[in-house]
Every structure is written in structure tokens, then in C-alpha cells.
Structure 1
Amino acid sequence: MKKLLCLLALLPSLLFAQQKEELIAQVKANPKNIETLQTLQRIGVYNPEYKELQGLFKKLDKKVRKSTQGKIFERYLDALKNTQVGKKAPSITQLNLAGEPYALSDLKGKYVLVDFWASWCPPCREENPNLVKTYAQFKDKNFEILGVSFDREFAAWDKAIKDDKLTWKHVSDLQGWNNSAGQTYGVKAIPQNILIDPQGIIIARNLHGDALNAKLAEVLQ
């Protein structure tokens, strides 16, 4: 039974890897098709790799790259480039639950996990209990979380925070997928997160569960 459970646990990651390879093959096979940009967008959507996507984009036909959709995708690539590990984290200022401006820079001097999520996002809500445990373990060790919500309705956002007992800092511009911070950080799928050091430098992207806890234990020694 244990062996079966281990195989079942591996199945989603194996399927994901297979799907990614299939998408890459489709992109390479259709460089002159404008719809290929949509396929390219789906590659690594929860954990995008700038260099990988840039390399595939550069191999597309010039007309595709210079199209309106191509220029939009290029802006997405720029956002990913500017938020890679080692880069200075772009500023974020949005309204908190009290309707007051709150900035990422207000947490300067701390390790900060910028968590992109929404009340309507099932994977985000499933991840929240893990984040609650992580926050309880590290909040007194110079660590903070800044939740950036892709909600549109204040009431739903506020209720989810209370229901899931998310006691850290929260902001949103209530613009859904058009959230300005999400666009700046190249976030096209949630949940995603960015880990920033006390100097405001990005040190990790999209760490969850045990991987996040291990990284925090390492840097917060």
C-alpha cells in the first residue's frame, strides 16, 4: 500500500512534466502561427522560467513576435526578467483591509514572502493552512508575509482572510487578474510567491510547504 501511495503522489508531477514537453514541442513545430503564443503562455505557468520562455519566443517567426499579442508576451517576459532571483524586488503599494496604502517597502529589513492569491482560488485556499503553520513558526524571526489578492470583491477577500486565519499583512487593488503587482511580477497563475531578503533582493520564487520552510530555516539561522 505504501508503494502504491508513493506512485500516486508522483503521478501529478510526471503528468505535468509530460505536458510541458508536449507544449514545448507544439511551440517549436508552429513558429509562424499566432496561436502559438497562447501555447507558449501555458509553459511553466505556475513556475515560469524566463530564459526558457525567452529562448522559445525568439525562435518564433518575426511577424508573430512583432504582432500585438507578441508585444504583450514580450512585456510579460520583461516582467519575469526583472523579478528573477538576484534582482531588486519591484515596489508594491496597494490598499490594506482598512483602505490605507501599504507598501512592500514598509517591511524593509525583514525577510518577506509576497504571496499572490485570491479568495476564489481553490489551490490558494488549500495552501493557506500550510502558510499559517509557516508563519507561526517563523514570524518572530524577522519574517513577514505580504498577501497580494487578485480578488475583485472586498467582502469575499476580507471573509477569506478571516475564515483561513491569515494574520499577516494583506493588500489588493481589487482588479482581479489585472492586479498591478501581479503584472509587475509576471504572475499569470496563482498561487505564486516571491521571497525577498532584508535588503529587498529576491532570493527565491515559488517555494511551498517543506521547500519554503527549509529555505526559511536556512536564511533565518
Structure 2
Amino acid sequence: MKKILLILGFLCCVITSTKAQVVGVDVGDIAPEIDLPNTKGENISLSSLRGSLVLVDFWASWCGPCIKEQPTLLKLHNTYPEKLSIYSISMDTKKPLWATAIAKGKLPWTNVSDLKYWQSPVVADYMLQSVPLNFLIDKNGIILAKNIHGKALEDMIKGLLDQK
């Protein structure tokens, strides 16, 4: 009887402590795949950036806080060019607005959009309700943080990349 209780106790511990990783938008989840065209019409998938730290950044040319954050992103991009990738998804509906904002901001990282605004499947996958919104993803596609901006974003990235 004791053996059976021990075995059942052990199995309960194993079952309750084992959590399979899921695709989702919570910290610890595997980031949902994104595969959208860049300004040249070439599709670029989020998973193609695996192997480095990735910041997935939802933004729009008409979003003041998004534009205000671009100098921070440029600084991070220039500080960690080989260790950090930025994957920006524009919520603009008109390509000229999107392309002009990229050129004006001199945004050298991966910029994609499907120009469908809130009807995009990516909006549902990432539960997007407003911009700016971002997700910091590790080299294996696991979400480390979400909606982290400014100094907090800089400090987290510095902490993750300077320790290597």
C-alpha cells in the first residue's frame, strides 16, 4: 500500500510540475510565427531570426509614442548589431506612409507589414490592442518580456547581452 501511495504521489508531482511549452503571447511561451512582406515585397519570417535575441516591435507612422521610441531602438541596434535583431511590424494601411516613416527614421532593421491594419491574423495571434507593443524573444523563440520600453528595455537587453 505504501508503494502504491508513493508511486501515485510521485506521478502527481511529475504531472503537475510538467508544463508543456505552448505558442502564445505570455512570458515563457513560444512566440507565434509571423511571415510578412518587407517594403520590397519579400516575405520575411520571424523564425528566420532565431539564434539571436529578437525584439518584435508593433508600431505605426501615425503613432507618436512609437516614433518617440525609435531613437532608443536605433541605439540598441547600433550597440548590439550582431546580437540583437529587431523585427518591426507596421500597422499602417498605406505603403507610402510606412515607407516614408522608415526612410525618415533611418530604420535599418527588418520592417514588415501586410497593410491590413487590424484585420491582420498577426493582430489576433499577438492580441494586439494598441501600439506601441513589443515582445523580447530569446534565441529559441521564447518570449522573455512584453511591452517593455525605454530605460527598462535598454537595461534588460544590456543585462542579457553583456553577460555573454
| Contact in 2 for aligned 1:172/1:179 (Cα 8 Å) | no
Matched, 1:173 2:95: no
Structure 1 distance, partners of 2:86, 2:150, is 14
- 1:134 aligned residue: 76
Superposition TM-score, scaled by structure 2 size: 0.82
- 1:77 aligned residue: none
- SS of aligned partner of 1:86: coil
Query: Number of paired residues?
Result: 140
Moved over 4 A (4+): none
Structure 2 distance, partners of 1:145, 1:121, is 18
Gap runs ≥5 in structure 2: 1-22
Deviations 1:192-211 (A, max 9, x none): 10000001100000111111
Deviations 1:133-188 (A, max 9, x none): 12111223x11000001011011100000101111001110011223222211110
Amino acid in the other structure paired with 2:34: I
Aligned CA RMSD, in angstroms, stands at 1.2
Structure 2 distance, partners of 1:99, 1:106, is 16
- 1:96 aligned residue: 38
Superposition TM-score, scaled by structure 1 size: 0.61
Q: 1:132 Cα deviation (Å)? A: 1.2
Greater share of helix: 1
| Residue of structure 1 aligned with 2:149, choices 196, 202, 208 | 208
State the structure with bigger RCO (CA 8 A, min sep 6), 1 or 2: 2
- SS of aligned partner of 1:82: coil
Gap runs ≥5 in structure 1: 1-80
- SS of aligned partner of 1:170: strand
Structure 2 distance, partners of 1:217, 1:208, is 13
| Contact in 2 for aligned 1:115/1:146 (Cα 8 Å) | yes
Structure 2 distance, partners of 1:164, 1:213, is 19
- SS of aligned partner of 1:119: coil
Deviations 1:20-76 (A, max 9, x none): xxxxxxxxxxxxxxxxxxxxxxxxxxxxxxxxxxxxxxxxxxxxxxxxxxxxxxxxx
| Contact in 2 for aligned 1:116/1:182 (Cα 8 Å) | no
> Percent identity of the aligned residues?
42
Structure 2 distance, partners of 1:168, 1:190, is 18
Amino acid in the other structure paired with 2:41: G
Structure 2 distance, partners of 1:126, 1:178, is 25
| Residue of structure 1 aligned with 2:127, choices 170, 186, 200 | 186
